[in-house]
Amino acid sequence: MFLVIVLTVTLLANTAASHGTGDFTYSSFKTANLSLDGLAVLTGDGLLRLTNVTKQKVSHAFYPDPIAFKNSSNGAVHSFSTTFVFAIIPEYPALGGHGFAFVIAPRREIPGARPNFFLGLFNETNNGNATNHIFAVEFDTVQNNEFRDINDNHVGIDVNGLTSAKSSPAGYIENSVQGFRNLNLISGKAMQVWVDYDGVQKKISVTLAPVNVNKPSIPLLSLSCNLSPIFKETMYVGFSSSTGSLYTSHYILGWSFKLNGQAQRLDLSQLPRLPHRKKKQKYNLLTTGLPFICLFILSILVFAVAYVIRRRRKFAEVLEDWERDYSPHRFKYKDLYVATKGFRDEELLGTGGFGRVYRGVLPTMKTEIAVKRISHESRQGMREFIAEIISIGRLCHRNIVTLLGYCRRKGELLLVYEYMPNGSLDKYLYNQPKMTLSWSQRFRVIKGVAYGLSYLHEGWEQVVIHRDIKASNILLDSELNGRLGDFGLAKLYDHGTDPQSTHVVGTLGYMAPESTRMARATTSTDVYAFGAFLLEVTCGRRPIEVWKDNDVILVEWVFSCWDKGDILEARDPNLGTDFLAKEVELVLQLGLLCSQSQPTARPSMRQVVQYLEGDLALEEFSSLGISRSGFPFACHEGFSTSGRSYPFYGDNAFSQMSSVANSVLSGGR
Ligand SMILES: Nc1ncnc2c1ncn2[C@@H]1O[C@H](COP(=O)(O)OP(=O)(O)O)[C@@H](O)[C@H]1O
Ligand SMILES: *[C@@H]1O[C@H](CO)[C@@H](O)[C@H](O)[C@H]1NC(C)=O
Ligand SMILES: *[C@@H]1O[C@H](CO)[C@@H](O)[C@H](O)[C@H]1NC(C)=O
Ligand SMILES: *[C@@H]1O[C@H](CO)[C@@H](O)[C@H](O)[C@H]1NC(C)=O
Ligand SMILES: *[C@@H]1O[C@H](CO)[C@@H](O)[C@H](O)[C@H]1NC(C)=O
Ligand SMILES: *[C@@H]1O[C@H](CO)[C@@H](O)[C@H](O)[C@H]1NC(C)=O
């Protein structure tokens, strides 16, 4: 297409081979009629674009008509004057192509011309040869030592070759201050050039200035030079340019020429607009993009740091020096977090008085665990407490839930236990349980718990008091053996409280009457609680229940059954008929025996085991001398049916409870 245009243009030029008047003005090349070759094009915007992004190519744009430069009578070259506006837009701001030249040549094409630093004007063989008859003003943006270029940003007057007859760094002398101002040819900004030849003085002058700046009165270059031997009769005027390996666009925005006179001033307002500076934009994108990229990287960094800190905080633990000894029992919070899938609600086994219990699987050993999270702000007593539960954890008994270890965090203690797949015993007893236990299963559980507690009391080098025996703290392993769990925890809450205050922790209905007065746990308070446990397992009721709007105190009720001579009436109806009357009777009586308000009257756990195993015969109660006077006590409270642990306060509470107990006692029978 382009070639066709060039051809037609050339053809038209040829057909109208009349000698031009040598006077033309292009404020825009929109309707221009130029002879183009190589990369040169006229853009739709009216620009003459000499080069585009194709590498190693030349381009030429000539005014189509030949101009008769010489006086036919004496052969002298006429004065002429030309002015044009150009812009060089490089792809990379600091790296230009090779530049371009205003050229006056004998033909509209320059055969054999080479790209690169030859600027589309010459080649290796003809450079500098007088037979070229080429006059050029170069705007050179690459320093080439071969042609003795002064720098990479200069203007030069070339005659037949690229070694300039005269050259100067690009710039202008300002009219007002007469100072030299540098101009950067590849700045992408439009600049105006004036080339004037004085045919009388035989002097050529070249002037450069930024567009919008008036023509400086002192030219950049002026050279005395007789063009007569160089010029032929007729010559063509135009531009030449070339590309190298770097992309640079050379544009001519407007151009006027006049032989024998002053070239017409260019109407700068009429000049076409330069294209959006894509390459510059790319660079701008980079410069404006850079802060964004930095910001992006920075924010990623901030996020990463925040993530690490959050993770650290999330998995932060409290570890004190004294805990070194227990390091084998120490778990990493992160491991527990992973094991319980982040303490998901789905893994929640239950909520007890001390906190939530989660099921988990240790990733390393694939063992199932139960993790109890206890919120605990005070560090007081923590050391003793951990020492104690670790030492208990060391004791291995088939009726004790093994403590595998612990972990401490700020305000929180995590205890890791063996997982008991069958959960806690209370689930099988009250409130129309989904599944009940047969008598033989219950009896097995009772014996197991008795063994476990007896072991804590006497089988270990130190006396360990459980403090919180109740059905919900008895856990069932896979074989439905009863196992003691939760020992020692009540003590954690005891610790650090003022010994003067009678702050006691335990569970209502399981607490021996003396514990409210003395605030001291002993083996016999454990026995008392065990008694309550025996009764609840056998009767399937809580120690205190609201029944038909009355508080029913289990001990009292069992006692009354016994008193009536039918203790078996107290048994859990869910047992059906599949039970051994002797065993049920034994357990109920033993329960009563343990529930006596006088601590010394209660048996020891060792004796309890012996009774249960039949090694020691339990005499008739009446012969033991037990009467109502043995239970004037017992069952205080009466307000709560939940069986929940919570502290209550000493004497005051006790007196209140006694009165309740009294009223119950007096009204109960
Ligand atoms: N080692 C364990 N294995 C399986 N389940 C357990 C274990 N420990 C506790 N649980 C479950 O978590 C619930 C709450 O436990 P816990 O805090 O001991 O209750 P409480 O404080 O009321 O005695 C229990 O009812 C039981 O179902
Ligand atoms: C282009 O130039 C040729 C030869 O000089 C001329 O015949 C033709 O009319 C011109 N066309 C235009 C559109 O100026
Ligand atoms: C550059 O210009 C030439 C001649 O007009 C053309 O053939 C070529 O496709 C152009 N290249 C690009 C990349 O525009
Ligand atoms: C050409 O040269 C002759 C003799 O020197 C002179 O008289 C004449 O004016 C010149 N013509 C032009 C157009 O300059
Ligand atoms: C250089 O250009 C001339 C024409 O000016 C041509 O004859 C010659 O073959 C060219 N040489 C090379 C090496 O291209
Ligand atoms: C200049 O070119 C001509 C013909 O192209 C050639 O005969 C001549 O030797 C060249 N001169 C020099 C100095 O290279």
3-state SS of 203-246? EEEEEEEECCCCCCCCCCEEEECCCCCCCCCEEEEEEEEECCCC
Give distance in angstroms: CA of 130 to centre of ligand 5.
14
Whether 546 has a pLDDT exceeding 80, the answer reads no
Give distance in angstroms: CA of 12 to centre of ligand 2. Answer: 6
Query: What's the pLDDT score for residue 313?
Result: 83
Residue from 103, 124, 125 to probe ligand 5 pocket by mutation (most atoms less than 8 Å from CB): 125
- Measure 53 CA to ligand 3 centroid, in angstroms: 7
Ligand 3 contact via 162 beta carbon (within 6 Å) = no
Give pLDDT, residue 553. Answer: 83
Q: How confident is the model at residue 322 (pLDDT cuts 50, 70, 90)?
A: confident
Instruction: Check residue 302 and give its pLDDT.
Output: 93
Residue 379: its pLDDT value, please? 62
> Considering only CA atoms, which residue is closest to atom 6 of ligand 1?
423
d(CA 143, CA 413): 78
Instruction: Give the number of whichever ligand sits closest to the CA of residue 51.
Output: 3
Q: Of 101-105, 427-431, 535-539, 568-572, which gets the smallest average pLDDT? A: 427-431
State mean pLDDT over 166-194: 90
pLDDT-wise least confident of 272-276, 379-383, 589-593: 379-383
Closest residue to atom 1 of ligand 1, CA basis: 419
**Model pLDDT, residue 278:** 54
Distance 160 CA to ligand 2 centre (A): 30
pLDDT band at 590 (very low <50, low <70, confident <90, very high): very high
Shortest-distance Cα residue to atom 8 of ligand 5: 112
The whole-number pLDDT of residue 284 equals 61
Name which residue sits closest to atom 16 of ligand 1, judged by CA: 352
User: How many Å lie between the centroid of ligand 3 and the Cα of residue 52?
Assistant: 6
Verify whether ligand 6 is closer than 6 Å to residue 130 (CB atom). Answer: no
Residue 517's pLDDT is what?
60
Q: Does residue 476 line the site of ligand 1, with CB under 6 A?
A: no
- pLDDT at position 651: 33
pLDDT in tens, 463-519: 878 888 888 889 999 999 999 887 666 565 554 333 333 344 566 677 777 776 666
Considering every ligand atom, which ligand is closest to the CA of 52?
Answer: 3
Active site (annotated) includes residue 566 = no
Indicate the pLDDT class of residue 657, thresholds 50, 70 and 90.
very low
CB atoms within 10 A of CB 43: 14
Residue-level pLDDT at 465: 82
d(CA 391, CA 402): 11
In short, whether 473's Cβ falls inside 6 Å of ligand 1 is: yes
Contact 445, 397 (CB under 8 A): no
pLDDT tens digits, residue range 600-651?
Answer: 889 999 999 999 998 888 776 655 656 666 664 444 433 333 333 333 323 3
| Helix (H) / strand (E) containing 41 | strand 41-42
51 CA from centroid of ligand 2 (Å): 23
Nearest to 219 by CA among 239, 200, 192: 192
What is the CB-side half-sphere exposure of residue 368 using CA atoms within 13 A? 12
pLDDT interval class at 160 (50, 70, 90): very high
The CA distance from 183 to 525, in Å, is 102
Could you give the CA distance from residue 351 to residue 595 in angstroms, rounded to a whole number? 28
| Percent of residues, the chain, with pLDDT higher than 70 | 82
Residue 659 predicted with pLDDT over 60:
no
Ligand 4 centroid vs 73 CA: distance in angstroms?
Answer: 7
Q: Which of 343, 345, 348, 357 to mutate to test the pocket of ligand 1 (most atoms within 8 A of CB)?
A: 357
pLDDT at 631: 62
Local confidence band at 668 (pLDDT 50, 70, 90 cut-offs):
very low
Judge if the beta carbon of residue 72 lies within 6 A of ligand 6: no
Most confident of 190-194, 469-473, 664-668: 190-194
Q: Looking at the CA of 419, which ligand is closest? A: 1
Distance CA 208, CA 172 (A): 6
Shortest-distance Cα residue to atom 7 of ligand 6: 131
Do the Cβ atoms of 85 and 127 come closer than 8 Å?
Answer: no
> What is the distance in A from the centroid of ligand 1 to the CA of 352?
6
Mean local confidence (pLDDT), 213-225: 92
Does 8 score more than 60 pLDDT?
Answer: no
- Of the residues 65, 468, 494, 572, only one is catalytic, namely 468
Residue 417 beta carbon below 6 angstroms from any ligand 1 atom: yes
Which pLDDT score, from 0 to 100, does residue 653 have? 33
Q: What is the mean pLDDT of residues 544-555?
A: 78
What secondary structure does DSSP assign to 125-188, as a single string? Answer: TTTT-GGG--EEEEEE-S--GGGT---SSEEEEEESSSS-SEEEESEEE-TTT--EEE--GGGS
Mean pLDDT of the chain: 80
Helix (H) or strand (E) holding 289: helix 278-314
Measured in whole angstroms, the distance separating CA 614 from the mean position of its chain's CA atoms is 67
- Of 220-234, 304-318, 525-539, 635-649, which gets the smallest average pLDDT? 635-649
Residue 75 near ligand 4, beta carbon < 6 Å: no
pLDDT tops 70 at residue 285: no
Question: Which residue, judged by its Cα, is nearest atom 11 of ligand 6?
Answer: 129
Confidence bin at 378 (pLDDT 50/70/90): low
Average pLDDT over residues 200-222: 92
Give distance in angstroms: CA of 33 to centre of ligand 2.
6
Give the mean model confidence (pLDDT) for residues 90-103.
81
Residue 1 has pLDDT above 90, yes or no: no
Tell me which residue has its CA closest to atom 9 in ligand 2: 12
What pLDDT sits at residue 459? 81
Q: Which has more pLDDT, 535 or 627?
A: 535
For residue 595, count other CB atoms closer than 10 A to its CB.
Answer: 31
- Ligand 1: residue of 349, 358, 427, 434 to mutate (most ligand atoms within 8 A of CB) is 349
Per-residue pLDDT, averaged over 340-368, amounts to 87
pLDDT band for 286, please (50, 70, 90 cuts): low
Å from CA of 440 to ligand 4 middle = 143
Say how far apart CA 649 and CA 632 lie, in whole Å.
20
Specify the ligand 2 atom closest to the Cα of 65: 5
Q: Which ligand is nearest to the CA of 80?
A: 4
pTM: 0.49
> Has residue 531 got a pLDDT over 60?
yes
Arithmetic mean of pLDDT, 163-178: 89
Residues 421-437: tens digit of each pLDDT: 998 898 888 777 788 88
Question: Higher model confidence: residue 565 or residue 391?
Answer: 565
Q: Whose CA is nearest to atom 13 of ligand 3?
A: 53
Q: What is the DSSP string of 414-469?
A: EEEEE--TT-BGGGGTSSS-SS---HHHHHHHHHHHHHHHHHHHHSSSS-------
Checking 383-389 for CB contacts under 8 A at 24+ apart, the result is 383/320, 383/322, 384/495, 385/488, 385/491, 385/492, 385/495, 386/323, 386/326, 387/326, 388/464, 388/488, 388/491, 389/415, 389/487, 389/488
pLDDT band at 26 (very low <50, low <70, confident <90, very high): very high
Residue 63 pLDDT? 94
**pLDDT of res. 3:** 43
Q: Which residue has the tokens 């119950």?
A: 664
* Residue 372 in marked binding region: yes
Cα separation values, 241 from 86, 290, 591, Å: 12, 34, 114
The 10s digit of each residue's pLDDT in 127-148 is: 889 999 999 999 998 888 888 8
Q: Which pLDDT belongs to residue 64?
A: 92
Return the ligand 1 atom nearest residue 356 CA.
17
CB of 206 shorter than 6 A to ligand 1:
no
pLDDT of 640 reads 33
For residues 402-416, average pLDDT: 86
Ligand 5 pocket test: pick from 123, 124, 132, 240 the residue with the most ligand atoms within 8 Å of its Cβ. Answer: 123
Closest CA to 195 of 241, 152, 250, 256: 256
Over range 25-47, report the average pLDDT: 89
Instruction: Quote the CA–CA distance of 319 and 322 in Å, as a whole number.
Output: 8
d(CA 339, CA 347): 10
From the CB of 112, is ligand 6 less than 6 Å away?
Answer: no
**Do the Cβ atoms of 526 and 466 come closer than 8 Å?**
yes
On the question of pLDDT at 550 being above 50, the answer is: yes
Q: Can you tell me the mean pLDDT for 73-89?
A: 92
Mean pLDDT over 385-402 rounds to 78
The pLDDT-based confidence of 658 (bands split at 50, 70, 90) is: very low
CB 352 near ligand 1, within 6 Å: yes
The pair of three-digit structure tokens given for residue 249, joined into one six-digit string: 């666009």
- Sorted by where each starts, the structural domains of the chain and their CATH numbers stand as 2-270 (2.60.120.200), 321-418 (3.30.200.20), 425-665 (1.10.510.10)
Of all protein residues, whose CA lies closest to atom 4 belonging to ligand 3?
A: 39
Q: Which atom of ligand 4 is nearest to the CA of 74?
A: 2
